[in-house]
Amino acid sequence: MTVSTKPLDVCLQGLGRLEYRGYDSAGVACAAPGMDHVVWCKKAGRLSVLENELAKHPLPPAQTCIGHTRWATNGEPSDINAHPHISQDGKIALIHNGIIENANQLKFNLQSEGYNFVSQTDSEVAAKLLGKIANRIIEDTGKPDLFAAVRRLGKMLSGTFAILAIDVRQPDVVCAIRRDEPLVVGLGEDESFLASDVTAFVAYTKNALEIGQDNAVMIRGGRVEATDFDGNPVEARRFTVDWDASAVEKGGWDSFMDKEIHEDPASVRETLMGRFDLDGNIVLDELHIDESTLKNIDKITVVACGTASYAGFIAKYAIEHWVHIPVEVALAHEFRYRDPVLTPRTLVVAISQSGETMDTLMAIRHAREQDSKVLAICNTQGSSIPRESDAVLYTHAGPEIAVASTKAFVAQITACYLLGLYLAQVKGAMYRDEIHGVVQGLRAMPGKIQWVLEHDADVVKSTAIALVSRPAFLFLGRHVGYPVALEGALKLKEIAYAFTQGFAAGELKHGPIALVEEGVPVVVIVPSARQGNVLHDKVVSNIEEVKARGAYTIAVAEEGDPDVERYADVIFWRPQCPTLMSPLVDVVPLQLFAMDMANAKKLDVDKPRNLAKSVTVE
């Protein structure tokens, strides 16, 4: 690549697409032939702050550029702590995702040699150390070799990292190393890209390479070289991105969250596509776990965090009903610390939108050490969790940019249903006609979600505006409505900053009812009254109980339910659907409710405070 403004332009565009991963500061660094030191600019705050600074003080044309948007884990958000960090002599710039666990000892050693530090970050330690290594290589060989330097750096660091670096002495080269942090290569024509997510470069190429654990990579124009930390060549798996750059644009919507909620129906539809043969049987070719192994599975453990764990909780009800084997749901960050009981006949299902959730990644490594099979349910190709699992079931929600998950959640539920029905098919736990009947119900769900979007939007919005000043909310549900209540509470908490709590409705009289007083909004997920569902009357009774104590009641209920009409102040209706499928529609008005309330408070619904899209550190 010749010297131009393109490297910086591409870098800034990529940072804009990746800002959902972290947005408390941003920075860039560039290198070009003839430069005596790298040029850089970094600012605390959103990417727009950096762009404004660059407009006032432009950087010179360059041949290579690296950039970073930060979510602080080490050192407060500030100009000084922002990335990139620079070597002592100014020749090298470095950016880093992750946590360097031995940074304090390395820093002490460097300080004793006269190195100076200006930030509170572990990443600056890596930059100074890389500068020292690079200079030592020049002393020993007479020429710069950034690729060798980053490999040596990787062997000296403990913790997690994806590190990118440039050196003005090799201005046509960008080098990177990774351990437990995402890193992919984009393969263009006479140009290459490095990023934590294909979203950064999909406007330029759909061809990408996965970079393996403890591997290093060097890009130079259109050339890519990958090795381990010892310099031995490694094979990087190639894959093609199945969506284009328009998927990461708002396309006229007020926010990405608004767009992505309205993509709920397509997410379910796309996740179902290609998973059936001509006879209607479920075919999950990508599982790569033979049927004999699946037949012997006697227990399923779902590991996940946040919204993904609620998808697993919903899956528990469905899979236990269809397959008749126990399912437990474990928060990934607690899983390996409680000595879980795992055997070769346990199937561990890891659910993660990004495929990079560090707690979940650590959980599946522990499971594989116990000889359990691991199946990943993931939305992101080339990510770590699918690569380290025995099998993967990809959702096809497309890129999800808003930090609060919406369309990925319904896609995860759909994938869990497919897995449960497939296990029932393999184990013979259901008759073929029964499975086909459930599948038909599942295939009808995109249309029912669309019905909710079209029929409930106005009443949801007016309710959110009316309740915008209420300080606290309770969410209640039973059976599959319980995890929906948990998810509804989480959404309102995440983006509208309201104190919310979700409870199993049966627990109401065991403590939570003490919180109910005049005007407190209580959101209740009401089961269908059809087919003699005893839970319906119990939940309606809960509505009566809280209403008698002055609560403002909001019900999510099946269209035309007379009992709910009698007692609820506001109703978000759902069309008729099978009980186990109802979470796919019940969660949609709760997603809209959270978004509408955040908008009414004039909050940034796509980038809530203190949160990042993918939690890649423990």
Cα 555 to Cα 55: distance, rounded to the nearest angstrom: 51
> What are the residue ranges spanned by the domains of the chain?
6-246, 250-443, 449-604
Q: Which fold would CATH assign to domain 6-246?
A: Glutamine Phosphoribosylpyrophosphate, subunit 1, domain 1 (3.60.20)
Q: 285 or 570, which is more confident?
A: 570
Q: For residues 471-480, give the mean pLDDT.
A: 96
CA dihedral 180, 182, 187, 193 (to 10 degrees): -110
Q: What class is the 250-443 domain?
A: alpha beta
pLDDT at residue number 290: 87
The per-residue pLDDT for range 307-316, each reduced to its tens digit, is 999 999 999 9
| 250-443 and 449-604 in the same fold | yes
Q: For residues 187-195, give the mean pLDDT.
A: 93
Check whether 614 has a pLDDT greater than 90: no
- Please list the residues that pair with 177 across neighbouring strands: 163, 216
Query: Residue 389: enclosing H or E segment and its boundaries?
Result: none
Query: Residue 477: enclosing H or E segment and its boundaries?
Result: strand 472-477
Q: 2 or 549, which is more confident?
A: 549
pLDDT at residue number 179: 94
Which range (97-111, 200-214, 495-509, 601-615) has the least confidence? 601-615
Contact 420, 302 (CB under 8 A): no
Q: Percent of the chain beyond pLDDT 90?
A: 83
The per-residue pLDDT for range 243-270, each reduced to its tens digit, is 777 777 888 899 999 999 999 999 999 9
Q: Give me the helices (H) in 142-255, please.
A: 146-156
Q: 21 or 25, which is more confident?
A: 25
**H helix and E strand count, the chain:** 19, 23
Check whether 21 has a pLDDT greater than 80: no
pTM of the model: 0.86
Contact 188, 195 (CB under 8 A): no
Integer distance in angstroms from the first to the last C-alpha of the chain?
A: 38
Q: How far is CA 246 from CA 125, 249, 399, 405, in A?
A: 38, 5, 10, 19
The per-residue pLDDT for range 73-104, each reduced to its tens digit, is 777 889 999 999 999 999 999 999 999 999 99
pLDDT at residue number 245: 74
Count of residues making up the chain: 618
Cα 116 to Cα 178: distance, rounded to the nearest angstrom: 26
Positive or negative CA dihedral for 296, 299, 300, 303? negative
Check whether 1 has a pLDDT greater than 60: no
Q: Give me the helices (H) in 234-336, please.
A: 256-261, 264-272, 291-295, 307-323, 332-335
Q: For residues 435-443, give the mean pLDDT.
A: 95
Cα 421 to Cα 436: distance, rounded to the nearest angstrom: 9
Check whether 20 has a pLDDT greater than 90: no
3-state class (DSSP) for residue 444:
coil
Place of tokens 């922002």: 82
- Please list the residues that pair with 377 across neighbouring strands: 351, 393
The per-residue pLDDT for range 506-531, each reduced to its tens digit, is 999 999 899 999 999 999 999 998 86
Cα 497 to Cα 506: distance, rounded to the nearest angstrom: 26
The per-residue pLDDT for range 268-304, each reduced to its tens digit, is 999 999 999 888 889 887 788 888 999 999 999 999 9
Q: For residues 218-222, give the mean pLDDT.
A: 94
Contact 59, 107 (CB under 8 A): no
3-state class (DSSP) for residue 80:
coil
pLDDT at residue number 382: 78
Q: Percent of the chain beyond pLDDT 70?
A: 99
Q: For residues 156-163, give the mean pLDDT.
A: 95
Which range (141-150, 409-418, 601-610) has the least confidence? 601-610
On average, the pLDDT of the chain sits at 93
Q: For residues 310-329, give the mean pLDDT.
A: 97
Cα 109 to Cα 234: distance, rounded to the nearest angstrom: 33
- Please list the residues that pair with 240 across neighbouring strands: 207
Q: For residues 156-169, give the mean pLDDT.
A: 96
Q: How far is CA 505 from CA 199, 331, 413, in A?
A: 41, 22, 22
* CATH superfamily, with its number, for domain 449-604: Glucose-6-phosphate isomerase like protein; domain 1 (3.40.50.10490)
pLDDT at residue number 157: 97
pLDDT at residue number 532: 65
State both tokens at 224.
């890519």
Q: For residues 152-167, give the mean pLDDT.
A: 96
Phi, psi of 614 (to 5 degrees): -125, 120
Q: For residues 460-467, give the mean pLDDT.
A: 98
Phi, psi of 484 (to 5 degrees): -65, -40
Contact 315, 421 (CB under 8 A): no
3-state class (DSSP) for residue 525:
strand
Q: How far is CA 77 from CA 22, 42, 50, 102, in A?
A: 11, 11, 14, 21
The per-residue pLDDT for range 360-402, each reduced to its tens digit, is 999 999 999 999 999 999 998 878 899 899 999 999 999 999 9
